[in-house]
Chain A
Amino acid sequence: MDNTNIWLIIIGVSIISLSPRILPVALLSRFEFPAIIEEWLSFVAPAVLAGLTAVSVLAPEGVIDISINNIYIWAFLPTVIAAVKTKNLFVTLLAGIAAMACLYNFVGI
């Protein structure tokens, strides 16, 4: 692929990927949402996070893998415990990363 086309792709992808993030805030900020819509929107973040967690832990390679061979599931367990016990994102992150490093290097599944 030649250089012009690559730059064209980069600029096109930039517009496509940035507009869905910018436009809702730009267009909707002036409106007052009805209470029920605001309540509905308040559930978007927990739903999105649950979806992201489920996909990233249970399908780390893009394909659903619910088995004892999926080390992401094993690393998930100490991460949950650290999050509940410490209530601290940084400590939880370190616990998760350390657990994954151990599993990757020493368990070898």
Chain B
Amino acid sequence: MMQKELKQGIKDALPIVLGYLPLGMAFGVLAKEAGLSVIQATMMSVLCFTGAGQYITIGLIQAGGAIITIFVANVLVNIRYLLFSTSTVPYLKGHVPPLIASLLSYGLTDETYAVAMNHYQDHPATSAYMAGLNLTSHLGWIGGSLLGAVLGSFITNTDQFGLGFALPAMYTCLLIFMIKRRADIWVAVSAAVICLVIGYLAPSTMSNLSNIIFATLIAATLGVIINGQH
């Protein structure tokens, strides 16, 4: 049973790995260019596991930004995970022991969140599934970073293989799978529109994805109101 759950988690992580390898490689190349050693670049992916946060950090290191600026930028980029993480609690409670759930939640990313929440719609959460999904995804990210840092600019352009669309395709597909209730459609459409309007009016929100936080707060509230009318 546990082994089956672990296998399922690893299997569900493979599409994520497909997207993380090129992104991790790009990070490794940039980190090396910014003056990090191979060990530092790889350890950053081991310890941080924050795609956007790591890119911004490298950019700021290269631009000679202050350490405090780097930390503030990372708070802004990662704050959305408070919301993501909180929304997983009802699914984990009673299924995964709190200590294990907390520890494995280190591996919560946009992608593992999307895949896990889809899985939890019709399967109870388990420690083994969570471990398989999060650790495999993390290994993909670490492996990509290491490859990028070692091979540097020898890497050919991965865009030509269409891998740049791996994560957008995954979001699209999981969004479609996730829409079950009538209210979900309205939540999804309003979240997308609000997200773009905020991103248009305040382009700086696009770089830390804070537009997604505001859009989610409004759209989820709308969902409760629509759902309550039935």
Contacts and interface: CB of A to CB of B under 8 A. Distances in A.
Interface of A: 1, 3, 5-14, 16-18, 20-26, 28-30, 33, 36, 38-60, 62-64, 72, 75-76, 79-80, 82-84, 87, 89-90, 92-93, 95-105
Given A40-B223, A56-B171, 8 more contacts: A21-B78, A36-B224, A42-B223, A46-B188, A89-B177, A93-B169, A97-B161, A101-B161
Given A1-B61, A44-B84, A9 B172 contact: no
B159 A104 contact: yes
Interface of B: 12, 14-15, 18, 35-36, 40, 43-44, 47-50, 53-54, 57, 61, 64, 67, 70-71, 74-75, 77-90, 92-93, 98, 101-103, 105-108, 110, 113-114, 117, 159-179, 183-184, 187-193, 195-196, 199-200, 203, 206-207, 209, 211-212, 215-216, 219-221, 223-224, 227
Nearest to B189: A50
A16 B39 CA distance: 21
A24 B77 CA distance: 17
B173 A83 contact: yes
A3 B35 CA distance: 9
A50 B89 contact: no
Contacts of A80: 172, 176
A44 B86 CA distance: 10
Contacts of B209: 51, 55
A72 to B, nearest CB: 6
Contacts of A29: 89, 92-93, 98, 101-102
B173 A92 contact: yes
Given A51-B211, A58-B196, A46 B18 contact: no
Nearest to A94: B169
A12 to B, nearest CB: 5
A48 B113 contact: yes
Contacts of B12: 89
Nearest to A56: B168
B218 to A, nearest CB: 8
Nearest to A5: B67
B163 A97 contact: yes
A42 B161 CA distance: 36
A14 to B, nearest CB: 4
Given A45-B113, A46-B191, A55-B206, A87 B165 contact: no
Given A10-B40, A56-B171, A79-B169, A48 B176 contact: no
A47 B216 contact: yes
Contacts of B196: 54-55, 58-59, 64
Given A72-B168, A79-B173, A9 B67 contact: yes
6 contacts: A22-B85, A26-B105, A51-B191, A53-B172, A79-B165, A104-B160
A93 B166 contact: yes
B195 A50 contact: yes
A50 B48 contact: no
A25 B70 contact: no
A89 to B, nearest CB: 5
A23 B110 CA distance: 17
